[in-house]
Amino acid sequence: MSHQRAGRNGAIGRKRSRGGLVDPTQRRAYWRRNLRLMAVLLTIWALVSFGAGIIFVDALNNFSIFSVPLGFWFAQQGSIVVFVLLIAVYVWRMDRLDKEFGITEYEQEVHHS
């Protein structure tokens, strides 16, 4: 019996450690680190979206990118670019976390469930 986990495409797949099932202590540590990573990344996104695009917009508008005020740029494109980069960082860090905990994802079960 293995615990269920949503795969990257939203499907449910099984995750197991190389040596068998993940014990409850490892599972708690894994999810604690996963939640900490999500909290950090979402905080960065909120600071960029609200901070650069709303709160600090007047100060940032003193600078420009391709003759577009920087505050406006962050409000329109910058926060989206940062969000996409944060998704890439999340995928990279979660792959490393999975390897650290010896967790493998069964792709056949994820894609054919």
Cα angle 102, 108, 113; round to 5: 110
Helices and strands of the chain, counted as H and E runs: 5, 5
Contact criterion met (CB below 8 Å) for 54 and 60: no
More confident call, 93 vs 53: 93
Which residues have a Cβ under 8 Å from the Cβ of 34 and sit 6 or more positions away? Answer: 94, 97
More confident call, 6 vs 36: 36
> Per-residue confidence at 106, pLDDT binned at 50, 70, 90?
low
Radius of gyration from C-alpha coordinates of the chain: 19
pLDDT at position 21: 54
Which of 18, 51, 39 minimizes the C-alpha distance to 93? 39
* DSSP secondary structure letter of residue 10: S
* pLDDT, tens digit, 9 for 90 and up, residues 25-38: 988 999 999 999 99
* DSSP secondary structure letter of residue 20: B
Q: Among 15-24, 39-48, 68-77, which range has the highest average pLDDT?
A: 39-48
What is the pTM assigned to this prediction? Answer: 0.68
